[in-house]
Amino acid sequence: MKVIKILSFIQKRVKSLGVRLIYSILLMVYAYQSERTPLWARRIIIGALAYLLSPIDGIPDLTPFIGFTDDLGIISFGLVSIACYINNEVREKAKTKLLSLIKDVDENEILAVDAKL
């Protein structure tokens, strides 16, 4: 998986993506990199991230406010599907990277994502 491509995608769209979506993406990336994550879970991660990066989209991402809702739905579904492979190490890596991308992160945004897992 091209982690650099995903991180580049995030950096270009930090303001429009929102903290919850970015944190969710980072959780999936670091779960994918974990040796504990089995092949079937990695396939779910690849599928969800491929949908996010795909130029063909159900709702165009240029649409204000609702453009990324379908992306968040797919990423959320993927996260819930692989939740047992998102451990504290994965969470810490994702939080650290998130804080390096966005300086003022509302902790409630992170907690909202973690609560779904």
> What separation, in Å, do the N-terminal and C-terminal C-alpha atoms of the chain show?
23
pLDDT one digit per residue (tens) for the chain, 117 residues = 566 777 777 666 655 568 888 899 999 999 999 999 999 999 999 999 988 887 666 555 555 556 667 777 888 899 999 999 999 999 999 999 999 988 888 888 899 899 988
Give the Cα separation of 14 and 103 in Å (integer): 11
pLDDT at res. 114 = 92
Q: Which two tokens stand for residue 31?
A: 């779960």
* pLDDT, position 104: 83
pLDDT the model gives residue 11: 63
What is the structure's pLDDT at 90?
A: 96
In order of 35, 41, 74, 79, 109, the CA distances from 20 in angstroms are 25, 21, 13, 12, 6
> What per-residue confidence (pLDDT) applies to 76?
87
